Amino acid sequence: MAGEKILIVDDDMANALLCQRLLKRAGFEAKAVNHTADALAHLKSTPYDLLITDIRMPDMDGFELMALASQSNPDLAILLMTGFGSVENAVQALRFGADGLLLKPLTSAGDLVETVGSVLQKRQTKLDAMRLSVLHPLFDISEHIFAETTPDVLSDLIVNDIRQQTQAAITGIFVQNAKESPWKVLAGSNPDLLSQPMGSPVIDRALEKISMIEPYILLNQNDPFLGPMGKWLRENNFRDMVCVPVSRANNRYLFYAIRSNDQPEWANPDLELIVIFARQAAVALENAALYKELKDFIRQLEESQRSLIMAEKMAALGRLMASLAHELNNPLQGVQNCLHLAERTDLPETQRQEFIALARKEVERVSALAQTAMEYYRPKRLVRQEVELLASLETVLNLVEPQLRNNRISVVRDFPGRPLEIEIIRDNIQQVILNLLINAMDAVTNQPDPRQIWIEVHELENGIEICIEDNGGGLSPEIEERLFEPFVSTKPFGTGLGLSISYELVVDVHGGELSFVQPLHEKGARARIVLPRKD
C-alpha cells in the first residue's frame, strides 16, 4: 500500500514530525502540520488518501476537522489519534465515521505503519466496492446507447443517462466539428449557462481551455477557467462543474455535469464513471453519425439505381416503339376504314354492323397493346410478392410480339404444364427477361431464316430456371468474360447497361444466378437465370 499521500495534523509538532518520519521510512508520502487551518489548505490543494489528526487541538478538535475534510474529499480515509484511550472516544470516533483510532504516545513504528496500512486497505476496499456499484449499471447504459442510431435521439439519451447516474442537477454536451471551428451545443445545455452566445470568442476560449485538460477537470464556481460561466453558477446556487473532454476522429466533445450546493461532493467513483461513460458516449455518437451518413448514402444510391434501372427500361421500350407504332397504326387504319364504310347509307344494315364489329375488334386489339406497354413501363412498388411466373413471361412476349413478327423471328416455348408461383419483384424480373429477349432478337435479326429464340422454364429443387437461347452468331470468349460489366456492349447503339443491371437485379436483389452457358440447340448465345424460392 506504500506510496499513498498522508497528511498528519497534531498541535504537538514533535509527534507530527515523528509520524511523518516513520511513514516516509515505510514508503508513504507524508506531510506534517500543527494547525488545522494549514491542514484544510493542504486538503484543498492536494488529493490526500489519508488524514491522521489528533482529537484534542486548541483551534479545532479532530472531529470537526474530520467533518470538514470529508465534505471536500468524501474518499479520504480518517485515522484519529488520542492520548486518552477511553471507550467514549472510541464510540465517538466510530459515530463520526473514522476509519481507525490510534493511541498516543506511539509504542513502536510497527504499530503506526500497521494501523495506517489497515486503514488504507479498508479505504481501498470501500472504493473498490463503490466502483463496482457505479460500474455495474454502466453496462446496461452502454448497451442501450449503442443500440440507438439516431444522432438527435442518442444525444438526449446520453444527457439523461449522465444526469441520472451522477445525480447531477444539469448535464450537457458541447461539440466542435473541426479544429478551430466554433463550439456548439449538442444537447442538454441550459441556455442561461452562457452569458454570451455560443460561437463568441469568450465562450470559445473558455471551452478550448477546459477541453485541453484530460481525463477530466472539476471546477468550482469561482474557478477562473470557467470565465463567464462561473458567474452563472454562483448566481444559480451551483457549486461546481465536472468537464470531460473526448477527442474522436471527426469531432471533439465536452461532456459536463453540474451539482448544486445542496448536493454531495464528487467522489472518485463518480468521476471515474462519468469519464468512462463519456468516452463510450463519444464512440456511440460517432457511430450514430457514421450510420446516418451510411443510410443517407444508401438512400441516394438506391434512388440513383432506381433512376438508372428506369432509364434502361425506357431505353429498351424505346427500341420497341417503332414496331409498336406500326402495330398500333394498322388496327387504327382498319378502324378508320370500317367506320367510313359503316357510315355509307347505301350498304345493307347487316354489312354495316359487320364493319362496326370489325372496328370494335381492332379497337380492342389497340387497347390490349397499349395496356401491355403501360403495364411494363408504369413504375411499381419494388416489393416481393407471389407471382405466377409464366403469366409474367407471356406479358413480356406480348410486348415484343410485333417486333418478333416483323423480323420473322419464331419463339419456341418449353414451359411446364402448370402455373409456377414464386416470390419475386415482378417488375425487376420482367425487365431482365425483356433485356435478354431484345439481345436475342438483335442477335438473329441479320441472320438467314429460320430465326429462332428458345425460352425454357424448368423447376429446380430450390428454385426455377429460365433459359433464353438464340441461333445468332454467339459470343466471343473476350466479350463473354466482360458481358456483365457496365458500359460493355457488342452493339453500336447499345447503352452497355442492360446486362449489368440485369445481373444486379437477379443476383444482388433476388439472390439468384445469371450467366451465359453452353447453347443446347445451335451455336448462338444461351442465357440462364435461376430464381431461388424462399425457405
Per-residue pLDDT tens for 247-305? 987 789 999 999 988 888 887 778 888 888 888 888 888 888 888 888 888 888 777 76
The domain total for the chain is 3
Q: Residue 90: pLDDT band by 50, 70, 90 thresholds?
A: low
**CATH number of the domain enclosing 98:** 3.40.50.2300
Q: For residues 107 and 263, what is the distance between their CA atoms, to the nearest angstrom?
A: 42
Q: Is residue 200 part of a domain?
A: yes
Say what the pLDDT of residue 464 is. Answer: 92
Q: For residues 220 and 94, what is the distance between their CA atoms, to the nearest angstrom?
A: 31
DSSP summary character for residue 521: S
Say what the pLDDT of residue 154 is. Answer: 87
Say what the pLDDT of residue 236 is. Answer: 86
Give, to the nearest 10 degrees, the angle between helix 268-342 and helix 389-406: 50
Q: Are residues 285 and 405 in the same domain?
A: no
Q: Is residue 172 part of a domain?
A: yes
Q: Are residues 66 and 178 in the same domain?
A: no
Q: Is residue 196 part of a domain?
A: yes
**Of 263, 292, 321, the domain-final residue:** 292
Say what the pLDDT of residue 348 is. Answer: 81
E-strand ranges in 24-116 read: 29-33, 50-54, 77-82, 100-103
Say what the pLDDT of residue 336 is. Answer: 76
Q: Are residues 119 and 187 in the same domain?
A: no
Q: Are residues 110 and 153 in the same domain?
A: no
Q: What confidence tens digit (pLDDT) does each residue in 172-215 have?
A: 999 988 777 888 888 886 666 665 566 677 778 888 888 888 89
Nearest to residue 501, comparing CAs of 401, 453, 404, 433? 433
Indicate the SS3 state at residue 164.
Answer: helix
Q: Are residues 285 and 433 in the same domain?
A: no
Q: Is residue 487 part of a domain?
A: yes
Say what the pLDDT of residue 299 is. Answer: 82
Q: Is residue 425 part of a domain?
A: yes
Write out 435-480 in H/E/C secondary structure.
HHHHHHHHHHHCCCCCEEEEEEEEECCCEEEEEEEECCCCCCHHHH
| Cα angle, residue 45 at apex, residues 39 and 49 outer, rounded to 5° | 70
Q: Residue 232: pLDDT band by 50, 70, 90 thresholds?
A: confident
Q: Are residues 126 and 205 in the same domain?
A: no
Q: Is residue 101 part of a domain?
A: yes
Whether 492 has a pLDDT exceeding 80, the answer reads no
**Of 132, 160, 192, the domain-final residue:** 132
Say what the pLDDT of residue 411 is. Answer: 92
The sign one gets for the Cα dihedral 260, 262, 267, 272 is negative
Neighbours of 451 (CB within 10 A): 20
Q: Residue 330: pLDDT band by 50, 70, 90 thresholds?
A: low
**Mean pLDDT value across residues 404-427:** 89
Q: Are residues 197 and 76 in the same domain?
A: no
**CATH number of the domain enclosing 265:** 3.30.450.40
Neighbours of 392 (CB within 10 A): 18
Write out 220-248 in H/E/C secondary structure.
ECCCHHHCHHHHHHHHCCEEEEEEEEEEC
State residue 11 phi and psi, 5-degree precision: -70, -15
Whether 467 has a pLDDT exceeding 90, the answer reads yes
Say what the pLDDT of residue 136 is. Answer: 59
Q: What confidence tens digit (pLDDT) does each residue in 388-397 have?
A: 999 889 888 8
Q: Are residues 447 and 527 in the same domain?
A: yes
Nearest to residue 238, comparing CAs of 298, 180, 169? 169
Strand (E) or helix (H) holding 322: helix 268-342
371 to each of 365, 374, 379, 396, 398, how far by Cα in Å?
A: 10, 5, 14, 12, 11
State residue 26 phi and psi, 5-degree precision: -85, 0
438 to each of 278, 400, 401, 421, how far by Cα in Å?
A: 60, 8, 11, 25
Whether 220 has a pLDDT exceeding 80, the answer reads yes
User: Can you read off the three cell numbers belonging to residue 492?
Assistant: 453500336
Q: Is residue 317 part of a domain?
A: no
Whether the link from the prior residue into 331 is cis, omega within 30° of 0, is no
Q: Are residues 155 and 267 in the same domain?
A: yes
**Of 264, 292, 320, the domain-final residue:** 292
Q: For residues 133 and 115, what is the distance between their CA atoms, to the nearest angstrom?
A: 27
Q: Which amino acid is at 7?
A: L
User: Can you read off the three cell numbers belonging to residue 205?
Assistant: 476560449
Q: Is the pTM of this model over 0.85?
A: no
Say what the pLDDT of residue 139 is. Answer: 63
Neighbours of 129 (CB within 10 A): 10
Say what the pLDDT of residue 112 is. Answer: 84
Q: Residue 530: pLDDT band by 50, 70, 90 thresholds?
A: very high
Residue 142 burial class via C-beta count within 10 angstroms: exposed 0-12, middle 13-18, buried 19 and up? middle
Paired sense of beta strands 184-187 and 170-176, if any = antiparallel
Say what the pLDDT of residue 289 is. Answer: 85
Q: Are residues 159 and 117 in the same domain?
A: no
Q: Are residues 245 and 167 in the same domain?
A: yes
C-alpha 425: how far from its chain's center? 28
Indicate the SS3 state at residue 376.
Answer: helix
> How many helices (H) does the chain have, and how many strands (E)?
14, 17
Q: What is the DSSP string of 106-162?
A: -S-HHHHHHHHHHHHHHHHHHHHHHHHHHHHHHHHHHHHHHH---HHHHHHHHHHHH
**CATH number of the domain enclosing 457:** 3.30.565.10
Q: For residues 198 and 15, what is the distance between their CA atoms, to the nearest angstrom?
A: 56
Q: Max alpha carbon distance in the chain (Å)?
A: 145
Q: Is residue 119 part of a domain?
A: yes
Q: What confidence tens digit (pLDDT) does each residue in 340-388 have?
A: 767 777 778 887 787 787 778 777 767 766 665 665 555 555 678 898 9
Query: What is the percent of the chain with per-residue pLDDT over 90, rounded to a whole number?
Result: 11
Q: Are residues 181 and 277 in the same domain?
A: yes
For 204, the domain range is 149-292
